[in-house]
Structure 1
Amino acid sequence: MLERPAMLLLIPGPVQTRPEVRAAMAQDIAPWDRDFQAVYARIRERIVGVAGGTPGVHATLPLQGAGHFVTEAALRTFVVPGGKVLIPMNGAYATRMARLAREAGREVVPLDLPDTRGATAADIVPVLEADTSIGHVAFVFNETGSGIVNDADGIGRAVRGLGRRMILDAVSAFGVLPFRLDEHPECDVLVFTSGKCLEGMPGMGFAVARMDRAEACAGHAQSWSLDLSDVLANAKRSGWGSIRFTPPVQAIAAFDVALDLYEAEGGQPARYARYRANADALYDGLAAIGLRPYLEKQHQGPVIVTVHQPSDPRFDLMTFVEALKRRGVLISNFYNTSAPTLRIGAIGAITTDDIRRAVAAIGATLDDMLAKAA
């Protein structure tokens, strides 16, 4: 039974967390201590399991920082300097991925798509067939700009069939949307962070990579800090509980507890079912109070729901967000879709009861705000 929080944090990460996870932060830890190194090594093994990886073939390569850090590290490590990478451009985080790749000196081949549907193999294949010099396809599994989901399984099979490689940004999808690395040998690496769907605290990025590919790509990164090949080399040299640079140790300890709770809930199928129910309740509830969904229902993923902002000229996003917060619900105070939207998360330690509470608060806040502005 999840706690009923005083403030509902409805953003796509960092998410609402359980008290057990927060409590694990209340300790002082030395990162080189043997007891902590055992925790760190255990987390790395557990993550390979969640990723559907194969021990001895895949390894967890952690990196301090936000999702952008580990995404850039993946691009730097696995795409050769100057190499071409195809990125389907159907959301704000795809745009950010492209910038990371370009500033790392990689050549981006953009594939422009609308931000209202996910990319599929049918979108990718013609581009790869037309340009055999493209070595990698990199994309965002779940776009938290609009809420769409790109077809990682289908794209991966197409990439493999054409003899290319893949990088998967699963930052807001890992542990919820199904994808198994042991079924996708074309995938060099997937990346995610501690503060999203596994409901840990923010602070750590994780790459789950093929060890043979990471070793083959040594020297590509042109950065010591962002070199995942070096993370692997350090682990093989110094042990899987070793850390190259000082990490957010409390966040790692909390993540171990978050993994316990994830497994106790039932793992990926159960976490997906809860988030899917949350997203459906949010989508339908917001529509029922007169807010128009940004996506058609068939394209709506389980992580974030976006709706068009009210067309009433008296509506102001920042004023609305602050007023809603006073009612105990906190949502994003920005949007990154092509049209003005409200951006509301469906993930974290929340249930459909919390969603119904949030929808009621949103409706009351809108009524209050527009009545006062009249």
Structure 2
Amino acid sequence: MLLLIPGPVQTRPEVRAAMAVDIAPWDRGFMPEYAGIREKVRDLAGGIAGQHACLPLQGAGHFITEAAIRTFVPAGAKLLLVMNGTYADRMARLAREAGRVVVPLAVPDHRSVTPAEVAEVLAADPAIGHVGIVYSETGSGIVNDVPGVGAAVRTAGRRMIVDAVSAFGALPFDLKAQPEVDAVVFTSNKCIEGLPGIGFAVCPIDRVTACAGNAGSWSFDLADIYATALRAGWGSFRFTPPVQALHAFGKALEFFQAEGGQPARHARYRENARLLHEGVRALGLKPYLDWDHQGPIIVTVHQPADPRFTLMEFVEALKTRGVLISNFYNTPVPTMRIGCIGDIHAEDIRFALRAIAETLDGMGIRQRDAA
């Protein structure tokens, strides 16, 4: 089955095979491996040894995002959130339920926020201490201008949390160039092409220590994860981890680096997105985004206007032809979400386009413009 979703992604067989081992997470034989993964992740984020730390947490992307919000934004404090997609909506809910005050900045879901829009809100409300932004919104497929927004946040003397869950490893990011960032967060099962189970935050150490006591949660406290590393070593855990997923992630990191790292992975995904964007148009379908705003992670496509089309029927029929896409959408109008990331290459996208064409024909879908 060809898995074309924005995560969990299609993985290499060697990565999946790495899961098929029994490991004790506190075993002295595994601790150096885990410590080495943390160092590699820190370096990939542009972190510096002794100045930045990789702080992993078991669970989904929502878990590591909530932990970053709880750790760095004090209870009752204001957090400006760029709202141009479903995952920003989820970030807002995490913040509100943690007792933080969300200041929403509404932006259309078909473009990035501009630095000027963020700067204007910060200038109008000096009580806002942090800005939260989703780097790659997989609801629509846009990429927000994180470096540009970061410069505006830095100029205003505020701090920033970057949800890079579906961006890290494909889109460029450098903590050295963005000292205003308290945390960049991502997960194991997206652009590094590992398996689900663990999230990562890379943070400035001085900010982590300064914010100890903010979280109001033991499980979701990045400062406590850092304190545990200092006390018990960088190969240590607080609670039982998804250790097989970590082992597989280490294997995925090896392939990531062998491919050429972030620039090479971005280039492959970008070509996948181009082929998919052009290919669905050739089939009479309409992409949700213009190419100028299209990111490399996922191509969202309007559902056909033909009354015979239903998303669930299409997804199930497409699956019989060896391609699996998301069976839900996150946009205000009906769309289809087709991922470009994972161990996916140009020939896979061409295969998927043929399967999509056959499925539409098999369903009798003739009117393919937007509903």
Output the TM-score relative to the length of structure 2.
0.98
1:344 to 335, 338, 346: 338
1:144 matches 2:116:
no
Task: State the distance in 1 between where 2:52 and 2:93 align.
Answer: 27
Name the structure 1 match of 2:201.
207
Amino acid at match of 2:104: P
Amino acid at match of 2:10: Q
Deviations 1:217-236 (A, max 9, x none): 00100000000000000001
Q: Secondary structure at the match of 1:206?
A: strand
Name the structure 2 match of 1:96.
90
Q: Secondary structure at the match of 2:307?
A: coil
Per-residue deviation, 1:372: 11
Within a 5 Å distance, the mapping from 1:138-217 to structure 2 comes to: 138-217=132-211
Task: State the distance in 2 between where 1:371 and 1:143 align.
Answer: 29
Amino acid at match of 1:351: H
Per-residue deviation, 1:196: 0.2
Amino acid at match of 1:12: P
Task: State the distance in 1 between where 2:148 and 2:242 align.
Answer: 36
Per-residue deviation, 1:119: 1.2
Count of equivalent residues? 367
Within a 5 Å distance, the mapping from 1:1-374 to structure 2 comes to: 7-370=1-364
Q: Secondary structure at the match of 1:358?
A: helix
Deviations 1:319-352 (A, max 9, x none): 1000000000000000001110010000000101
Per-residue deviation, 1:98: 0.3
Task: State the distance in 2 between where 1:251 and 1:216 align.
Answer: 31
Task: State the distance in 1 between where 2:286 and 2:338 align.
Answer: 13
Per-residue deviation, 1:252: 0.2
Deviations 1:32-89 (A, max 9, x none): 0011111100000000111011111110000000000000000000001100000011
Task: State the distance in 2 between where 1:124 and 1:26 align.
Answer: 47
Amino acid at match of 1:330: L
Deviations 1:298-329 (A, max 9, x none): 00000000010000111010010000000000
Task: State the distance in 2 between where 1:15 and 1:120 align.
Answer: 30
Q: Secondary structure at the match of 1:139?
A: strand
Task: State the distance in 1 between where 2:194 and 2:173 align.
Answer: 20
Q: Secondary structure at the match of 2:333?
A: coil
Q: Secondary structure at the match of 1:34?
A: coil
Task: State the distance in 1 between where 2:112 and 2:5 align.
Answer: 21
Q: Secondary structure at the match of 1:166?
A: strand
Task: State the distance in 1 between where 2:304 and 2:58 align.
Answer: 39
Structure 2 unaligned blocks of 5 or more: none
Per-residue deviation, 1:294: 0.4
Task: State the distance in 1 between where 2:366 and 2:261 align.
Answer: 46
Indicate how the Cα distance of structure 1 residues 291 and 372 shifts in structure 2: closer, same or farther if over 3 A, else same. closer
Amino acid at match of 2:208: A
Task: State the distance in 2 between where 1:17 and 1:79 align.
Answer: 35
The 8 Å contact of residues 84 and 106 in structure 2, kept in 1 or not, is answered as yes
Amino acid at match of 1:159: V
Amino acid at match of 1:349: D
Amino acid at match of 1:83: A
Task: State the distance in 2 between where 1:247 and 1:277 align.
Answer: 35
Task: State the distance in 2 between where 1:372 and 1:183 align.
Answer: 50
Identity between Structure 1 and Structure 2 (%): 67
Amino acid at match of 2:5: I
Amino acid at match of 2:70: R
Amino acid at match of 1:126: E
Output the TM-score relative to the length of structure 1.
0.97
Task: State the distance in 1 between where 2:77 and 2:278 align.
Answer: 44
